[in-house]
Amino acid sequence: MPDQSKLFAGKKGVIMGVANERSLASGVASFLSAQGAELAFSHLPDKDGRDRNEKRVRQVTDGLNTKLVAPCDVSSNDDIVGFFNKVGEAFGSIDFFVHSVAFAPVEDIRCQTVAASRAGFLTAMDISVYSFIATARAASELMTNGGSMVTMTYFGAEKVLAGYNMMGVCKAALEASVRYIAHDLGPKNIRVNALSAGPVKTLAASAVGDFSSMLGMNAAIAPLGRNVTNDDVGRSTAMLLSDWASSVTGETLHVDCGYNIMGSPGHALERLGKK
């Protein structure tokens, strides 16, 4: 019998994008599990027979309320269909879906956007944007009683952040996709939102320019004077997925200690000890 005192008691859902314990998706998974949710996870297929990707995901998920861990290459329509068929077999129906997937070739992120290759652009848009469209479609078919979806974005979708480059273009397209999919799925009582987290030291962040400097500057400028944590992201994502946000759809929620509201350095000069 589910513990009805927990926010996600009796709820079932899918999380895609756990790479290791520092992933944003890991913070989301930990909070949802603690609140009673039953979870299914994907991992990149292991093509060399060494199961390294699966093992990394299981290091995060084994202590949670995990019902399924299965491979899925989001660049393959067949893989997506196969994965969600397994989810359907495990759960029947689902209540929520979290998409935390993005990728671009390193050489196409670290160069100027104007210098990015056509092949790199197509790969980045496919994995970072179309994967959400395709997986949202598959997930929606299992949301027979309505549900909620959240994908992960970043402020580089709205403003130029040096070093984010082509991924900012992808995130802008992702946020537009959220709005259109929210319109498409609204009649099915399915809500679709994006969460724009402040910088967190993840595996994906290692591809971005001088990330340590970005963390320091973000904390100095943000009104709260700090950076966000995986726990912050987990709690806020859970809020969007829960009935507490039952009338919220098509939105991008900024969870960045207020950084996005600033049009000047704010307290940064005094915090950095400058006059």
In this prediction, residue 146 carries a pLDDT of 98
Residues 74, 131: contact at Cβ < 8 Å?
yes
Q: What percent of the chain has pLDDT over 70?
A: 94
**Strand 190-197, strand 38-43: pairing:** unpaired
The arrangement of strands across the sheet holding 12-16 comes to: 66-71, 38-43, 12-16, 96-99, 147-153, 190-197, 252-255
pLDDT digits 0-9 by tens, 51-63: 899 999 999 999 9
Catalytic pick among 130, 154, 180, 259: 154
The structure tokens listed for 64 are 């949670």
All structural domains of the chain, each given as residue ranges with its CATH number in brackets, are 12-258 (3.40.50.720)
Task: Judge whether 154 counts as a catalytic residue.
Answer: yes
**Half-sphere exposure for 133 (CA within 13 Å, toward CB):** 18
Task: Judge whether 259 counts as a catalytic residue.
Answer: no
Amino acid at 234: G
Catalytic pick among 130, 164, 180, 259: 164
| DSSP codes of every residue in 152-164 | EE-GGGTS--TTT
206 pLDDT above the threshold of 70 = no
Residues 197, 170: contact at Cβ < 8 Å?
no
In this prediction, residue 102 carries a pLDDT of 97
Check the CA dihedral 94-42-73-199 and report its sign. Answer: positive
The structure tokens listed for 166 are 């082509």
Task: pLDDT band for 50, please (50, 70, 90 cuts).
Answer: confident
How would you class 138 by CB atoms within 10 Å of its CB: exposed for 0-12, middle for 13-18, buried for 19 or more?
Answer: buried
């991992």: which residue's tokens?
43
Q: Which residues pair with 195 in a beta bridge?
A: 152, 253
pLDDT digits 0-9 by tens, 67-93: 999 999 999 999 999 999 999 999 999
pTM (2 decimals)?
0.93
Mean pLDDT of 260-271: 86
Counts for the chain of helices (H) and strands (E), in that order: 10, 7
Residues 258, 222: contact at Cβ < 8 Å?
yes
In this prediction, residue 266 carries a pLDDT of 83
Per mean pLDDT, which range of 119-133, 198-212, 217-231 is the poorest?
Answer: 198-212
